[in-house]
Chain A
Amino acid sequence: MTLEHTKIRPDLQVVANWIEPGSRVLDIGCGNGELLAYLGREKNVDCRGIEIRRAKVNQCVAAGLSVIRGDANQDLSLYPTDSFDYVVLTQALQTLEQPRAALEELIRVGNRAVVSIPNFGYWRVRLSLLFRGRMPVTESLNQPWYETKNIHLCTILDFLGLVQELGLEIEDAVVLKPDGTPARSPVTSARANFWGEQAVLLLRRK
């Protein structure tokens, strides 16, 4: 299987495994284009990206990727409904001004939405608050409170609540441990919300 020989970020690998070959994908906050390059190379996917940081955008385009400089907070509303098979938002929902509106837009523009979130219910986060009385700094939440772009953090359970409120269906979900390996517990379990450092979910309209 070709998916084995190039390593990408663990949550991106989960995303990539879900994407059907030959489909159309929009990656919001695509960074240096790691996922886009992988999908284009390994799955012949028609990939587009939006990224807010100029240097990252320029790096992506110089690598031959279709990426635009844009702001997810404003630009998503411009895309027609169902213009992509998948809209991907990894490790970024918590940085947006209005995560709920953004999630609605993702699932409007894309047939399916793929979202990965850092879990604020992860045990080390809980302990940090409980025993140290300090804002947690972990692998996926790696900046101090005064510098972090994460303005809308949530636990896996919180996110599931939003998914339910929006009437979305979870088609698949993977909970990842800090080392990037998948946890066995289902995403809806209390164990996942305690042991999982992040969750990746494949969502669709009901």
Chain B
Amino acid sequence: MLAPVTLAYQTYGTLNADKSNAILICHALTGDQFPAETHPITGKPGWWESIIGPDKPLDPDRFFLICVNVLGGCMGSTGPADINPATGKPYGLSFPVITIGDMVRGCMRVVDSLGIDTLFSVIGGSMGGMQVLEAVAAYPDRVFSAIPIATAAYHTAQNIAFHEVGRQAIMADPEWRDGDYLLHDTLPRRGLSVARMTAHITYLSEPALQRKFGRSLQDRDEVKFGFDADFQVESYLRHQGRTFVDRFDANAYLYITRAMDYFDLATSYGEGSLATAFKDCKTRICVVSFTSDWLFPTSESRAMVHALNAAAAPVSFVEIETDKGHDAFLLDEPEMNRILQGFINGAAAARGLPA
């Protein structure tokens, strides 16, 4: 049993008098509670500033936005890098395995503490989308609308496989020290970096990689026939891996990827049937997928929509044409913004919120 637990969160905007304008933003695997402000470590803009801001779909002038660092994370919420009060040492692998359900229960405790009964909406992409679906299934009366983006109701074999490669890369790094690297004042930099490089490829698409890099060379006129980063794409991935290590805890990466692997909504809530998991669902749902996302392909979203149809739930489903792959949900996609704006406006009108 893990207790006590700390959850770090940020809010934007103002909660209205009847507490009906709250939106929970769920972050993805390596995201955090800073979707709309400069990141305290990297100094980069918030990860979802493309849809948060004045006159954007998630407008702090209209809505009270809440974003919680997931349980098991490493940006202030209790995770494996924190000190276990029982031992006085970092949890490391003694941290309990967590689930998407645990993360969402954590978020809802934050929502409780803010005195909010019903969320106007829950939105998130990728693992954030899993949390959205979990919230709909677990708290059907507390979620008025929901926007799961680029996600699925379970983690596929291929996705588990990629996660396993990442975890094995971390664990194969001698500096991982069976998860006790913090005690030895070291970090499994290479392992975590390779995990990130692999994962990063899955977030893109072949056409996007081709468009961005092709076979272009990095700071040289010809290939050197060695193992330096000859190609731009290599240099790019190495950079992604290197910078990731500075902001993310390796054990947190193990635990959070594992939580995604275990996610299977139909098993948790529907005895194997996704339609049963969504039974009597009254939440207005907008499912969004992207044509070039091969990590969470449209077919997974469609399966979800079919289950929601079978449950006669109020669902919208759009597929956005883009070559940017899974990461498209984090990027500026004008069509996605138009759709989110329209869906949110429709839901707001149904909820009696001002336009």
Known interface pairs A58-B339, A61-B318, A66-B284. Does A79 touch B312 (Cβ–Cβ under 8 Å)? yes
Q: Is the CB of B284 within 8 A of A78?
A: no
Task: Assess the B339–A80 pair: CB atoms within 8 A.
Answer: no
B185 to chain A minimum Cβ distance, whole angstroms, is: 52
A78 x B314 contact (CB < 8 A): no
Instruction: Tell whether A67 is near chain B: CB-to-CB under 8 Å.
Output: yes
Convert B327-350 into 0s and 1s, putting 1 for each residue whose CB lies closer than 8 angstroms to a CB of A: 000000001001101110111010
Please indicate the chain A residues that have their CB under 8 angstroms from the CB of B343 in the complex.
Answer: 61-62, 64
A25: interface (CB < 8 Å): no
Contacts of A60 in B (CB 8 A): 316
B229 within 8 A of A: no
A-side interface residues, number (CB < 8 Å): 22
Contact B314 A75, beta carbon cutoff 8 Å: no
Q: B316 contacts A66, CB within 8 Å?
A: yes
CB neighbours (8 Å) of A48 from chain B are 314-315
CB distance from A59 to the nearest CB of B (A): 9
Beyond A67-B316, A68-B315, A70-B305, whether A61 also contacts B310 by CB under 8 A is: no
Contacting residues, chain B, for A62 (C-beta < 8 A) = 338-339, 341-343
Option from B310, B321, B341 in Cβ contact (under 8 Å) with A78: B310
Find B318's partner among A57, A83, A84 (CB 8 Å cutoff): A57
Question: Complex formed: what's the CA distance from A62 to B319 in Å?
Answer: 12
Q: Is the CB of B319 within 8 A of A79?
A: no
Whether the pair B310, A80 counts as a contact (CB closer than 8 A) is yes
Q: Is the CB of A61 within 8 A of B286?
A: yes
Task: Tell me which of A46, A68, A79, A80 has the highest count of chain B C-beta atoms within 10 A of its own C-beta.
Answer: A68
Measured in the bound complex, the distance between the Cα atoms of B345 and A83 in whole Å is 26
Instruction: List A42-78 residues whose CB lies under 8 Å from chain B.
Output: 46, 48, 54, 57-58, 60-70, 75, 78
B341 contact set on A, CB distance < 8 A: 62
**A64, A67, A70, A75: residue with the most chain B Cβ atoms closer than 10 Å:** A64
Chain B residues with Cβ below 8 Å from A58 are: 318, 320, 335, 338-339
CB pair B306–A78 under 8 Å, yes or no, is: yes
A68 and B305 form a contact (CB under 8 A) = yes
Instruction: Tell me the complex Cα distance, A68–B310, Å.
Output: 13
Closest to A63 in B: B342
Residues on B with beta carbons closer than 8 Å to the beta carbon of A63: 342, 346
Separation of A75 and B310 alpha carbons in the complex (Å):
10
Question: What's the least CB distance linking A163 to chain B, in Å?
Answer: 26
Determine if B267 is an interface residue (Cβ-Cβ < 8 Å): no
Task: State whether the Cβ of B317 lies closer than 8 Å to any Cβ in chain A.
Answer: yes
Assembly CA distance A164 to B320 (angstroms): 42
A69 touches B342 (CB 8 A): no
Is B309's CB within 8 Å of the partner chain A?
yes
Complex CA–CA separation, A60 to B339 (angstroms): 9
Contacts of A66 in B (CB 8 A): 284, 314-316, 346
User: How far does the alpha carbon of A61 sit from the alpha carbon of B286 in the complex, in Å?
Assistant: 8
Q: Using A57-B317, A58-B320 as known contacts, say yes or no to A78 and B309 having CB atoms under 8 A apart.
A: yes
In the bound complex, how far is the Cα of B305 from the Cα of A79, in angstroms? Answer: 11
CB distance from A166 to the nearest CB of B (A): 23
Smallest beta-carbon distance B36→chain A, Å: 23
Which of A61, A70, A84 contacts B339 (CB under 8 A)? Answer: A61
CB distance from B136 to the nearest CB of A (A): 15
Instruction: Say whether, besides A75-B306, A78-B306, A65 and B316 are in contact (CB < 8 Å).
Output: yes
Q: Which of B241-296 contact A (CB under 8 A)?
A: 284, 286-287
Cβ contact within 8 Å between B310 and A79: yes
- Asked whether, in the complex, the Cβ of B312 is within 8 Å of the Cβ of A83, the reply is yes
3 tightest CB-CB pairs across the interface, nearest first?
A: A64-B346, A62-B342, A68-B317
**Interchain Cβ contacts under 8 Å between A and B, 28 examples:** A54-B321, A57-B317, A57-B318, A60-B316, A61-B318, A61-B339, A62-B338, A62-B341, A62-B342, A63-B342, A64-B342, A64-B347, A64-B349, A65-B316, A66-B284, A66-B314, A66-B315, A66-B316, A67-B316, A68-B315, A68-B317, A70-B302, A78-B306, A78-B310, A79-B309, A80-B311, A80-B312, A83-B312
The residues of A with any CB-CB pair to B shorter than 8 Å are: 46, 48, 54, 57-58, 60-70, 75, 78-80, 83-84
Given contacts A62-B338, A64-B346, A83-B312, 13 further A-B contacts (CB under 8 A): A48-B314, A54-B318, A54-B321, A57-B317, A61-B343, A63-B342, A64-B343, A64-B345, A64-B349, A65-B346, A75-B309, A79-B312, A80-B311
